[in-house]
Structure 1
Amino acid sequence: MKVINKLSAVAMAVIVANSTSIYAAENTEEVERIEVTGSHIKRTDMEGPSPIQSLSAADLAATGSTDLIGALQKLPVSGAGTFSTQGNSSDDTANGGSSVALRGLGASSTLVLINGRRVAVSPFAKDIETSFVDLNTIPVSAVKRIDILKDGASATYGSDAVAGVINIIMRDDIDGFEVAGKISDTADGGGEEQNFTLLWGSTSDKGYHNFSLDYFKRGDVFYADRDYASTADQRFRGGNNSLSSSGIPGSIEVVRSMLTDAQWNALPTKSIADDGTPVKQTIFADVWGNDKCDESLIIGDICRYDYAPHMSLVPSTERISFNYNGVQEITDDIEGFMEFSAQHASTFIQGAGSPSFTELFMSGDNPNHPLADDADHFLHGVDISMRRRTYDIGNRKKDVDSEYYRAVIGARGSFNDWDWETAYSAIRSSAVEKGFDGFPNKLRAQEAIDKGYWNPFEPSTNTPEGLAFIETTTTRYGSSSMQSFDATVSGEVFELEAGAVAAAFGLEHRYEKIEDNPDSQYLRGEIFGTEATQANGDRDNTALFAEFSVPVLETLELQLALRYENYSDFGNTTDPKVAFRWAPSEDLVVRGSWGTAFRAPSLVQLHLGRTDESPSVIDKERCKITGSELDCEPYEYTAVVAGNKNLQPETSTNYNLGVVWQATEDFSVGVDYWNYDQEDLIKKIGAQKLVDCCGTDANLVVRGPNEGSTPGRIQTIYDTFVNIGGRETDGFDLNLAYKLDTNDMGFFKFDYKLSYALNFEEQSFESDANGNTSIAAEDLNGEYQHPQFRWTASIDWELDNVLTTLSFSHIDAYNDLEDANGDKFKIDSWTTLDASVSYTGFDNLILTAGAANLMNEEAPQAPSESMGIDNKTHNALGRQMYAKFKYNF
């Protein structure tokens, strides 16, 4: 893609984020630590060549969030692809996980570090394809600061640092004991939280040793707990009817291949195709016998089901975490360091009973056939399939138990004016997902139908023994591990007139392995209505890197970086970066950067085995002919996804240009223009796009037999990962900070941060009305899950022993996905207010009370979503009130 220069659009609105807070400007030691992120060369200047935003522990606490994702997802720089545990259901493939996608480029394009080093990804990928570092493995209590590098950094850190870097700095400043606790609850029910923390440590001139023990528990929230999301029939809000076509007791469905010509001709005719062929009715709501479909749920001849009330909106979670971070002097010039983290987490998820879409059959001579006693009915003696819920064995329930361990051991020191550091890291994350209720085994269910153990059309007649026969338990085991060795040396190489040229050289070797294995029932295709993945792969890579800081003038610094990587599974890549920092005066800094970045295909995308999804798809081909609801509204179909070992890495070019102006001692302005240009994006083509473009290609979309000129109903869609198209996005960040110290009214701090996208153009596989395919570019800016801008604003007021914080968060309006007619609903903008009050008047004790979403603003309506809310952009918890304490002794 050609770079689109939008500098004129921001009118030289020069560029770079004022990434440090007023507090950081007053604390030289804090600023020095912040600037380490993004460079292997230590520096003391407050503003470096790359834009960095820093969140202190106090900033995190002010958000009221008990976990990192709660704070990070509110940042304007966070975009599409950011996700929390909200929206987890029994169909989710990464239950209990969360991650951030900077600039909306995807969670897998955002590199997460802990103390400057990589972390292993979660064993379970999100939405089958997205590998991510699970932020829930890191308790807030153990975090000292978070640095967010807002430009590409592959030249420094390697793969995944496409959109930027989130570097989590752990506590190293504990001297004594600290006890803290927090409780919270929501105004609308569910989601109650308890969090208790014990921290202790010691600090001396020989080193420090910091420990933390953290306990966190959150209750679940169901869609039923939020009236506006408590039903999948959103017509009461002007939205869509997304009730499932798999109901109770369900619908009879006939398949052409199972019928004789006479039986097929006896079916009612729904319409006449263009060539005169009758289009037959093939689905009939079950209205026979004692157990009948509720008349209010029969829509379009189909027995529907409202699954929303039974589904988790936020799963319940319990986590206990331990962290150690220590440094000890070994000799005058050498110190050793060690980091250790461990966590056990349990998550409970619930979904509605398993849906069946023609997986099960009943022969025409089965005694339980619903029309067995009606010899005159056209379905008498006909082999039938069905759409129904196995609600009679209960809602689907899963427990996910996960373990996380991380250990780093290393040493650093100096030799002949050169600093050196080396370390070995070992990280392992594992999880066991158990489906313990509500999961039917297809083979047993079919046997039970055939032998009369279980009657799907008369559930009230079924016995406990029959239900126990069809029910099973499921298990999925996953693990992700990483071992790495790194070494870096840095120092001054020679003198120029303006100062010394500093350099850093290093190497890193890394081995990664991932396993994701469902039990044999999944592998044999015996579990229907629930997604599961299978992926097994490993690789190693070796990297060499160099970096130079060149003082061209006393006011101008040039940064040069280069990194070479060799991967065992796809080859080599080399990425450079050039950046500058110009300070023409004490109160003005101009800076910019240019570089290339890459993202290696994840092990899941390379090695994913056959995996079944249940996407909602509109069959536009049939809709144009039949006009029926079943064809013209989103319905679940089976999509088969698999990995692709021929994938190549995504590549990217990015640049940044900006200015930071300290207008007065109390007021600063920062503006930052950013631009990313990606190529060879790795993604699934997508079930809807495949149906739109290739709905009659039997290699991609398997259908039942045609009904004259009318294509048969979709049975299976085949999808996979490919390198396809590119993406370009650009925009600017605006940062304003002001402080006001009054004599009588206290001390005020004001902060405003805006991220505004000028363009978000993505190339993808498209098709026209005639099914002709091409690679087309679409501007997604302002479209689904891509609001054009986000901003946050905060006011801190400190008077005597009271500190009050008000924080506003705004997400711009954007378009929903288009419906069958090509129309798009406008999803409203959303502004929330967080507030907290802390009292510090007691010795060593701080008390705080507050609320997130104080005004209890409902998440805006999103008709394309089954329950009417966009879980990845908005939060449905509502007002969350909390109280907490912190005591030092």
Structure 2
Amino acid sequence: MNSATKFKLSTLASVISSSLLFSTFIAKADEEKQVERIEITGSHIKRTDLEGPSPVATLTAEDIQKSGVTDLISLFTKLPISGQGTFSTQANSSDDTANGGSSVSLRGLGADSTLILINGRRVSVSPFAKGIDTSFVDINNIPLSAIKRVDILKDGASATYGSDAVAGVINIILRDDVEGAEVSAKFGTTADGGGDEQSVNLVFGNQTDNSSHTFILEYFNREEVLYADRDYSRTANQALRTGDPLAEDFRSTSGITGSIMYADGSGRIADTFGVDTCPEDQITPINDGNGNQIGSNCRYDYAPHMTMIPAAERFSWNYLGKYEIQDNLRAFAELNGQNSKSTVRGAGSPSFNELTMAGDNINHPFANMPDHKFHGQDLTMRRRTVDIGNREKRVDSNYHRAIIGIQGEFKDWNWEAAYSYIKSSSTERGVDGFPNKRRMQEAIDSGAYDPFEPSTNGQQVLDYVETTTTRIGKSTMKSLDFKASGSIFEMEHGDLMLAFGGEYREESISDNPDDQFLRGEVFGTEATQANGSRDNMSVFGEMSIPVLDSLEVQLAARYEDYSDFGDTTNPKVSFFWSPMDDVSLRGSWGTAFRAPSLHQLGLGRTDESPNLIDTKRCELTNGADNSCSLQEYTAIFEGNPDLQPEESESYNLGLIYNITENLNFSIDYYDYDITDIIDADTQFVMDMHGLDPNIVERRPTTIPNDPGEVIQINDSYQNIGDLQTSGIDLDVRYNLDTKVGQFKFGYVLNYVLNFEDYKGTKEGGFEQPQMRWTTSVDWVKDDFSATAALNYIDSFEQKASLNLNKDVDAMTTLDASVNYFGLEDLVLTVGATNLTNEEPPFAYHDFMGFVVNVHSGQGRFAYVQASYKF
């Protein structure tokens, strides 16, 4: 343990011991009747009521059950507050860097700006970052059967919880009060094929005078869905499928047998010879920018072979227990574990000029054509290695979380201290369809492998050029925390309440592919490498001041010291005012921050394959070689150890009005201003530095005014820009009792007034629907209950780079379920999500034909469920 760590630990110990002495000193000497207080999400001060200054939405276990979802991300994607950056396993592919993982982005500010807590404590991030740099907590690690409720804090909360709470906090509260046992099973299927699901869970526990024990076991299994299973995504040629002149042919320019060009990049023609000639319907022309055809591409339709939703299998267990050591002193423990497996598929690996063939090679395709311009010339090629099979990746992950602690009361003070250890480990293996570039080039050079006549290659050489890949990741978090809450003294209008505490935390991540990746020998997949560690010490305090009987003011501040970038202090001021019994006003102002992730700081050389437009070449050649169209390029990323944290300022103003006993609503206005956003914008780099050979490397060419085809773009993460957003949250509830049963109506809306970032994104822009809402009705009568919910996602613009005036249409889906309680201890449920089987609206930006980060391609999912208590 180094001296800095010892100093921080000793500092934290001093804070804890001083806090205990202070709480003893200010505690009232005489015994008083204890008033039960609870801690609500957004504050460490225990309260006697649920309403507070911060806007918090709560979803109960019953709400989750009625939604019909089978995992947390399916629930969160339906929430109106979820925005751009929320991602599920949908669209996991052989190119993804976080297969099997899911997380939520509140208000579209990013999954790494939304803090995920379990029982009020942090969780370690996934070892595999999303999109190479986005650190996230994988919420697939949390089984639905273990959840008592989910609290969603909808304003910035770094003063309370520290880093990452820029957009808000999701606090998942686990069940800890089970008496007896309950077993349930759920089976479901989609209307259009694939995606069958089965889940079984067992919950049991007991409560005694001095102890409680809750055990939860859950098994979940889901069949894969391929893009081929849906009419709108089974081909990448959206132009042919739709007949829309604005739609594009997204089939790959790396086909089979492929396209050939000079190794110096000075020309290309289609492969129209040999045993496996390019099918006529896959040949598309290449123009020189003046309308003259100079060659052809042999395209390939990869869509039917790709995973839309991966196969997944998860087994999880949870234990929560408490033991009363003596009056007002308890020990507690939380133990969680999960193993999850996921399988993703993709078409055969594409090569983009990585391979060459010498002019005197024995397999040279023009060896017997002395009059051909490619005769005796060194060649390179775009081709897809389907001869070694389609790509398949398997991810095996383990998650373990252990919390042990003590808690107690002294007079009217509550205190708690705990140690946490959390570890996530994942192994990703490429088991089929991945070529080793070095061995393939050796086989080409020796004549053992003929890329232009694949059917002539024997199994022995195919086995030689194919490889298996391995990527191993691990993320750990260790922490020691303490907090105390209680009354300092009584004021005219109530007790002056105080909460304070501290935390010491150590975090580490490692994400390491095998040596083949590090040597650049594998193409056809993205690879990451990242290693880093940090420690953090924080102290915080909160004060609740009863200014009037009807007015409460809260002050909060948190100081954090990070080992890798320095320290930060974040304050927050909030109020809750009830001028009338049925009317309350609330508001808050505060600052927040997001520390650079360990992936962003410690990322090694990492390959990515973004779709970009070569704007500089497009301008100089009038669109030669399709340079004005989106194409896949190789980008090389590296971390930046000099990154500084993102900082933000936000405020919230809200009104709560209980109009009648059965009708109430709340409305909140929010505003966020975030500076120094950490990002890497490769299209921006291409636009600004496309002719700088130190940043954008190009293939040499002899064609006048042609800078040459891009080989790779060198990029890194920077504190690159700012973001502002504001909007309105509305929540309306109405209860109605009738002779035919009790009805509960609900309407939840998020309306974005403004969204503007450094990229030019705006409200209503691509992946930024301006409005989302859900309206629901629940009905209960005798032995039956039913629920129905409409989920609406507003229309939004097509991707800005496409310059289209058409919007991506709005989408409305209907979820419904019916429950029967007429059998003793047994509940039967029949339901469906997306009951009317709505297709996602068409989008022009990518091969799948819809926006996978906003809309679901699952279609109708019908299910039956049975729960039995004993």
Normalising by structure 2, report the TM-score.
0.93
Structural RMSD (CA): 1.2
8 A contact 1:173–1:210 mirrored in 2: yes
Residue 18 (structure 2) aligns with: none
Residue 296 (structure 1) aligns with: 281
Residue 821 (structure 2) aligns with: 840
Residue 737 (structure 1) aligns with: 733
Residue 693 of structure 1 aligns with an amino acid whose one-letter code is M
* Pairwise CA distance, 1:207: 3.1
Q: What SS does structure 2 have at the residue aligned with 1:309?
A: helix
Residues 640-673 of structure 1: CA deviation (Å, up to 9, x unaligned): 0110000000000010001000000000011100
8 A contact 2:605–2:638 mirrored in 1: yes
Residue 250 of structure 1 aligns with an amino acid whose one-letter code is G
Gaps of 5+ in 1: 1-31, 258-279, 765-777
Separation in 2, partners of 1:570, 1:627? 45
Correspondent of 1:55 among 59, 77, 89: 59
Q: What SS does structure 1 have at the residue aligned with 2:644?
A: coil
Out of 282-291 and 594-603, give the one that drifted further: 282-291
Q: What SS does structure 2 have at the residue aligned with 1:392?
A: helix
Separation in 1, partners of 2:623, 2:473? 44
Correspondent of 2:262 among 250, 254, 265: 254
Residue 880 (structure 1) aligns with: 861
Q: What SS does structure 1 have at the residue aligned with 2:717?
A: strand
Correspondent of 1:176 among 177, 180, 195: 180
Separation in 1, partners of 2:409, 2:340? 40
Residues 479-518 of structure 1: CA deviation (Å, up to 9, x unaligned): 0000000001111112211111000110000000000000
Q: What SS does structure 2 have at the residue aligned with 1:725?
A: strand
Residue 128 (structure 1) aligns with: 132
Residues 98-123 of structure 1: CA deviation (Å, up to 9, x unaligned): 00000000000000000000000000
Does residue 1:309 correspond to 2:294, yes or no?
no
Residue 444 (structure 2) aligns with: 449
Residue 92 of structure 1 aligns with an amino acid whose one-letter code is D
Residue 716 (structure 2) aligns with: 720
* Pairwise CA distance, 1:403: 0.5
Separation in 2, partners of 1:431, 1:794? 39
Separation in 2, partners of 1:698, 1:140? 52
Residue 274 (structure 1) aligns with: none
Residue 261 (structure 1) aligns with: none
Residue 333 of structure 1 aligns with an amino acid whose one-letter code is N
Residue 842 of structure 2 aligns with an amino acid whose one-letter code is Q
Q: What SS does structure 1 have at the residue aligned with 2:41?
A: coil
Does residue 1:601 correspond to 2:596, yes or no?
yes
Residues 171-210 of structure 1: CA deviation (Å, up to 9, x unaligned): 1121001000000000000000000001100113323210
Separation in 1, partners of 2:39, 2:784? 31
Moved over 6 A (4+): none
Residue 792 (structure 1) aligns with: 774
Residue 7 (structure 1) aligns with: none
* Pairwise CA distance, 1:33: 8.7
Correspondent of 1:383 among 362, 378, 384: 378
Q: What SS does structure 2 have at the residue aligned with 1:632?
A: coil
Residue 583 (structure 2) aligns with: 588
* Pairwise CA distance, 1:365: 0.7
8 A contact 1:85–1:315 mirrored in 2: yes
Out of 700-709 and 522-531, give the one that drifted further: 700-709
Q: What SS does structure 2 have at the residue aligned with 1:293?
A: coil
Matches within 5 A, 1:476-875: 476-624=471-619, 625-628=621-624, 630-684=626-680, 686-705=681-700, 707-742=703-738, 744-764=739-759, 778-819=760-801, 822-875=803-856
Separation in 1, partners of 2:805, 2:646? 31
8 A contact 1:288–1:371 mirrored in 2: no
8 A contact 1:547–1:561 mirrored in 2: yes
* Pairwise CA distance, 1:417: 2.8
Separation in 1, partners of 2:298, 2:801? 22
* Pairwise CA distance, 1:34: 8.1
Separation in 2, partners of 1:780, 1:326? 48
Taking a change above 3 Å as real, the CA distance of residues 365 and 473 of structure 1, as seen in their structure-2 partners, is: same
Matches within 5 A, 1:414-453: 414-453=409-448
Residue 10 (structure 2) aligns with: none
* Pairwise CA distance, 1:418: 1.8
8 A contact 1:35–1:45 mirrored in 2: no
8 A contact 1:560–1:578 mirrored in 2: yes
Separation in 2, partners of 1:648, 1:747? 54
Out of 688-697 and 561-570, give the one that drifted further: 688-697
Separation in 1, partners of 2:157, 2:82? 17
8 A contact 1:154–1:575 mirrored in 2: yes
How many residue pairs were aligned? Answer: 819
Q: What SS does structure 1 have at the residue aligned with 2:687?
A: helix
Q: What SS does structure 2 have at the residue aligned with 1:82?
A: coil
Residues 729-785 of structure 1: CA deviation (Å, up to 9, x unaligned): 00001111000011x210000000000001011124xxxxxxxxxxxxx25211111
* Pairwise CA distance, 1:799: 1.3
* Pairwise CA distance, 1:713: 1.3
8 A contact 1:202–1:209 mirrored in 2: yes
Q: What SS does structure 2 have at the residue aligned with 1:468?
A: helix
Residue 462 (structure 1) aligns with: 457
Residues 234-270 of structure 1: CA deviation (Å, up to 9, x unaligned): 012222111101000101022327xxxxxxxxxxxxx
Residue 643 of structure 1 aligns with an amino acid whose one-letter code is G
Gaps of 5+ in 2: 1-35, 286-295
Separation in 2, partners of 1:297, 1:254? 21
Separation in 2, partners of 1:348, 1:586? 56
Separation in 2, partners of 1:580, 1:93? 43
8 A contact 2:40–2:50 mirrored in 1: no
8 A contact 2:750–2:772 mirrored in 1: yes
8 A contact 1:111–1:164 mirrored in 2: yes
Q: What SS does structure 2 have at the residue aligned with 1:866?
A: coil
Residue 256 of structure 2 aligns with an amino acid whose one-letter code is I
Residue 856 of structure 2 aligns with an amino acid whose one-letter code is N
Correspondent of 1:149 among 126, 150, 153: 153
Identity of matched residues, %:
56
Correspondent of 1:284 among 252, 255, 269: 269
* Pairwise CA distance, 1:284: 1.1
8 A contact 1:833–1:853 mirrored in 2: yes
Residues 69-110 of structure 1: CA deviation (Å, up to 9, x unaligned): 011111000000000000000000000000000000000000
Matches within 5 A, 1:62-81: 62-81=66-85
Residues 762-820 of structure 1: CA deviation (Å, up to 9, x unaligned): 124xxxxxxxxxxxxx2521111111010001010111111110011000000111345
Separation in 1, partners of 2:806, 2:447? 48
